[in-house]
Chains A and B, each alone.
Chain A
Amino acid sequence: MKSKDRSITVILVFTPLLVLLAVPAYAMHITEGILPAQWALLWFAVSAPFLFLGLRGLRGQQNPQLMPMVGLVGAAVFIISCMPIPVPAAGTCSHPCGTGIAAIFIGPLLTVVVSSIALLLQALFLAHGGLSTLGANLASMGIAGAFAGYGIFILVRRLTGRWWIAAFLCGLLSDWATYSVTSLQLAAALHGTASFGKFFLTVMLAFVPTQVPLGILEGFLCVGAYRFILTRRPELLKIFAVRKEDL
């Protein structure tokens, strides 16, 4: 099969499969109707430039391995961000985000693109998140998670030279960054007459019992995924790196 045909097939298979990939989810996504209109619009405005840049970057790519990689990472982000994991210490469920891992493999801007597709399909077909809160959810999971994870990975890699520390912190901090931004979004929109700072801390502390263990789990997931590709096909890691020496 030609490379172009293969890419088209991947898109054709991947897109409807994402639609069908429905798992009842219990997660951080902000549900439909929770954010007032002005805040929902603001978060759409914040997310739009990242999405635009991501789509432009996707169009400019010539690498034949790009589409399978994006397909694999996109499926992973969709599955991971729909997978409720019970946390016995908290007695609740939540999910990892997968955007830190994704950002290492395909870069943060393409991660924004795959996250937007995943979140849109979840909002439409899984009653998970919402259309009006799509911008806010993309900002927290797609943008904050991806850029925090990617940034920390590059930084720690340069400082320590050890990929496994960098990968672990990437998974851990991308998860925590996502939930911190969700707390910020809720606090900004809902604090009312209460102090913003106090409301923000209250929401964030409410996430702590669930997200601390899940962040650690996501760190280990990130190390495992990175190690797998490093062992099997390390050249894939260099294709999408901003600077080759970082990987």
Chain B
Amino acid sequence: MKKIWLASEFIILLALGMYIGLRTSDSKWAGVDESVVEKFAIEANRPPHEPLINIEHGDLPLLLFLLAGAAGGFAAGYSFRGLFPPKDKDERLLTGT
């Protein structure tokens, strides 16, 4: 129950922080690729080309975001489990962890 409360508090604080941050800031939150790299490139008459595979079509980036979360977690978790195997039940009982 305590964990649920903690998680709820964290979510509320996070949402509140995001709300206040985004309401009070008029920044565009552009990436430095746009605000620095491309800015200097355009000034030097070397504007970027369109990428080979342009993913900016409708909700495609959102889909890829979703896949990214699942796939990234799985890839890292799979490798992590190989390096840090969970303690077996008997060992946990012996060590009390």
Contacts and interface: CB of A to CB of B under 8 A. Distances in A.
B44 A71 contact: no
A156 interface: no
A17 B29 contact: no
Interface size bracket, B side: 35 or more
B49 A79 contact: no
Contact of B29 (A27, A31, A36, A92): A92
B1 interface: no
A207 interface: yes
B67 A75 contact: no
A233 B76 contact: no
A26 B40 contact: no
Interface size bracket, A side: 35 or more
Q: Which of A26, A189, A236 has the largest number of chain B CB atoms within 10 A?
A: A26
Interface string B22-63: 000101111111111111110010111111111110000100
B74 interface: yes
A10 interface: yes
Interface in B1-37: 21, 25, 27-37
Interface in A176-202: 182, 186, 189-192, 202
Given A13-B75, A127-B55, A29 B25 contact: no
B67 A94 contact: no
B48 A31 contact: yes
Contact of A72 (B28, B34, B83): B83
A27 B32 contact: yes
Contacts of A186: 37, 40-41
B67 A21 contact: yes
A17 B33 contact: no
B37 A30 contact: yes
A65 B79 CA distance: 10
B75 A26 contact: no
Contacts of A123: 51-52
B36 A207 contact: yes
A127 B51 contact: yes
A12 to B, nearest CB: 11
Contacts of B76: 72, 75-76, 79
Contacts of B25: 88, 91
A33 B31 CA distance: 18
Contact of A32 (B51, B82, B83): B51
Contact of B83 (A24, A26, A28, A69): A69
B46 to A, nearest CB: 5
13 contacts: A6-B82, A22-B64, A22-B67, A23-B64, A28-B36, A32-B48, A33-B48, A68-B79, A88-B21, A91-B25, A123-B52, A125-B53, A130-B49
Interface of A: 6, 10, 13-14, 17-18, 20-36, 65, 68-69, 71-72, 75-76, 78-79, 82, 84, 86, 88, 91-94, 123-127, 130-131, 182, 186, 189-192, 202-203, 206-207, 210-211, 232-233, 236
